[in-house]
Each structure stands twice: as C-alpha cells, then as structure tokens.
Structure 1
Amino acid sequence: MARFEMHEAGFGTMGTMAQADMFVELGMMYATGRDCEVDQIAAHKWFNIAAIKGSARAAELRSEISASMSKTDLARALREAREWMTMH
C-alpha cells in the first residue's frame, strides 16, 4: 500500500487551504485506489484532516465514505486522524 509522508521543509508554512486541498487529494487517492489499494480507513483519515483544516468538500466526502464503513473501521480512522494531528 502506498504511503505519502509529509516531511518537506515548507510543509509547516504552507497555507491552511493548500494543506486542506492536499489532504483531500490524499483521501481521494485512497478512496479510489489511485496508485495504491483502496483503503477506506486512510481515505476517511485524510478527509477528516482536510475537513479540520477547513475543506467543506472533504467534510462531504468524509460523510459519504463513513456510510459504508463499519463502526470499528470508523473508530480506527478517527483515532489515526487524531494521532496524526497530535504529531503534526
């Protein structure tokens, strides 16, 4: 499974909406299986992070994908998003 790590030097200074757009793209990558296997947990995580950063589109996509997820998978996605936000 493909992983996209955020270690670029300019990442911390990137505008919030630019970050949100990038996270939406990560969510779409995992939701559709573009260049990786479909991973609903990862997709939800990135949509959730993008929504927190202010993306209304991400909030809609997060809602759509959560409708097809189990409660266990949804809890895992939320936990992973929270852990990511805590570390970054």
Structure 2
Amino acid sequence: MVTHTPQGIPGDPINVGLVGTKKEVVHAFAVAGWDTADAVTLRTAIDIGESVLFSRPYPDAPVSRLLFEGRAQDLAFEKPVGDSADRRHHVRFWQTNT
C-alpha cells in the first residue's frame, strides 16, 4: 500500500497500523513527544518558510498532503530534529474500518 500526492505521484508506503480512538492516538503521540501538525494554510505556509529560512523552531509545522485511497491523512504528527522545520520526523494516519 502506497500513498500518492494529489497529482498522482507515488508517496510514502503505508507500513504501520494502530488500533485506538482518535483521542487515544493523539494522547499517545503527545506523551511520546510528538506534536500534532498544523493544517496547511497561507499563514502556516509563511510560518514554515520563515522557520526554514531563519532556522527557527516550528514544532507544529504542517506536513504535505498525501492521499490513501483518494483521501488525505486524518492525523499527522511530527517531532523536530533541530532548529528548523526542514529537519523533522513526521508520520501520517488514515482512519479505516479494517
């Protein structure tokens, strides 16, 4: 299973599944030091650009939108790896019924 960009370009593989409610998943990631990613807006796009340009932290920086079965991620988390949003770990999750 592979995600795709909105343009249909293959993205990241789906390689892990979690069982739990949205509240449980958000709580577990928060306890582990991961931040919920902001939605992509004009403001957050400017903020992430400034983070990269000026090496300023942006712990809630948005992640790019990837699609699985035609749907964007339901949750996205990230963990900084430095002073700028261009260095971070991130993960996306889609809610499924399986």
TM-score normalized with structure 2 length:
0.29
Larger C-alpha radius of gyration, 1 or 2?
Answer: 2
> Quick check: which one's helix share is greater?
1
> Quick check: which one's strand share is greater?
2
TM-score normalized with structure 1 length:
0.32
